[in-house]
Structure 1
């Protein structure tokens, strides 16, 4: 049995409300934080190197039999996200047949872009995966996809480029919310760490509650460490949802069905929620 619970943390500002007031001192040596970008956390969780933490929603679907999701935690948006951008040299209406450079830090958003372009626009696109450096990505591509703080930083200085928010495009085509990350828990560790998982889950929810009640310290923090205008950060966090209820679930499970339809997933997935107290709820959606 492991002595500590290994908890992942995405190295992006979009998860900060869940971590900002998290009481690490309370857990002392009982948990170990592992901070990585989403693609790295996806791999670490799949290998059993992380027990709990936010991973790409797409990666959750790939390993749904091995994971459950912590209730009421996600990174979602209904409409504009503000940190998931397609930067294009030409309007999206002219992108058919283009070459697009994809960030190597994402799974959910990469496949969301493919769903939007192939299912809704009915385009044929070629893709290449690169490090998330916009000017290098666009040297040999017509457009580039960036996520997280890389996207936020690039959008401030993107000139002569058409910039599209993928959350906004998804909502325009479907009317649904989109969930980009879920706090996943490996089923294999539940029995050994049940009470600790419940405490960690409760601490995440409390941090989210405190941040919502008073966002000023969070805004000051990101303004100091990541630059930008405070008003832009206020608007950004107002557009994000960190809940996972019916609205988020319905949109995400539709995304899974679209991904399966295009062969990006072997089959549609559903989300099992792990509630405080250890109860599990299958959220299977029938349509």
Structure 2
């Protein structure tokens, strides 16, 4: 059993598997399922993997990264610009996007205070803060116009550090060995996922009430392949966390 993330970025990938082969949960729940032995491989937050790398092994196959702009990791506000000394509400569902946002804000000289929220949607995150980090499907919904989108966190991280933002990786428990044959099979699923992108664009632009062009761009910049660029970003984040 494989744990995939229950966000639209993984829709094309999930469609290459039978329902008996996968379970779709949040990245946090995928980690729990992995630790409890309910899944063999789980797609989890990069930061979660690095915090638990003593008991987990990375599987060099399916991951969530973007070539530059992420679209689904954004800083929003009711203001139309970023001030200094800001308070940012973030959902508890994100650790990696928050990590990238902190790097970006520090790099451009913005002081900040982070407040973890039980909410993930734009409206509730901005209830008691002027700024919010919104991720995943809630970020896509934000493009329909509820708040001002001030920053694509993935794009700014890429521009400032010259790296492709990696959000989630496939991992397994350290007592499990994943064969090269298994990895090759998973890589075929990555290749096959491209056949479902058009279908996902049509379904999700209607679902989120956004322009079709936005969803086309979303899937155009999204990549599941484990490349040298992915490894470079992982090593960079790991060096900062050690």
CA drift of 1:137 comes to 1.7
How many Å separate the matches in 2 of 1:126 and 1:100?
A: 6
Q: Which secondary structure does the structure 2 equivalent of 1:188 belong to?
A: coil
Is the contact made by 2:12 and 2:196 (CA closer than 8 Å) also made in structure 1? no
Structure 1 residue ranges without an equivalent (≥5): 1-5, 261-266, 268-287
Is the contact made by 1:8 and 1:50 (CA closer than 8 Å) also made in structure 2? yes
Matching residue of 2:58: 69
Matching residue of 1:54: 43
Structure 2 residue ranges without an equivalent (≥5): none
How many Å separate the matches in 2 of 1:163 and 1:123?
A: 13
Matching residue of 1:275: none
How many Å separate the matches in 2 of 1:115 and 1:46?
A: 29
- 1:146 is aligned to 2:141: no
Deviations 1:78-137 (A, max 9, x none): 31011101102346652x21111001211111122122223x134332121111122222
- 1:82 is aligned to 2:71: yes
Matching residue of 1:284: none
How many Å separate the matches in 1 of 2:115 and 2:217?
A: 32
How many Å separate the matches in 1 of 2:202 and 2:121?
A: 27
Greater C-alpha radius of gyration: 1
- 1:183 is aligned to 2:163: no
Q: 1:63 to 1:92 in 2, by over 3 A?
A: farther
Is the contact made by 1:23 and 1:203 (CA closer than 8 Å) also made in structure 2? no
Give me the TM-score of the superposition, normalised by structure 1. 0.75
How many Å separate the matches in 2 of 1:226 and 1:104?
A: 22
Which deviates further from its counterpart, 13-22 or 179-188? 13-22
- 1:243 is aligned to 2:231: no
How many Å separate the matches in 2 of 1:83 and 1:154?
A: 9
- 1:256 is aligned to 2:238: yes
Give me the TM-score of the superposition, normalised by structure 2. 0.87
Q: Equivalences for 1:3-22 in 2 at 5 Å? A: 6-22=1-17
How many Å separate the matches in 2 of 1:140 and 1:216?
A: 38
Which deviates further from its counterpart, 69-78 or 164-173? 69-78
Matching residue of 1:125: 112
Aligned residues: 241
- 1:39 is aligned to 2:44: no
How many Å separate the matches in 2 of 1:61 and 1:115?
A: 17
Q: Equivalences for 1:81-120 in 2 at 5 Å? A: 81-90=70-79, 93-94=82-83, 96-118=84-106, 120=107
Is the contact made by 1:77 and 1:239 (CA closer than 8 Å) also made in structure 2? yes
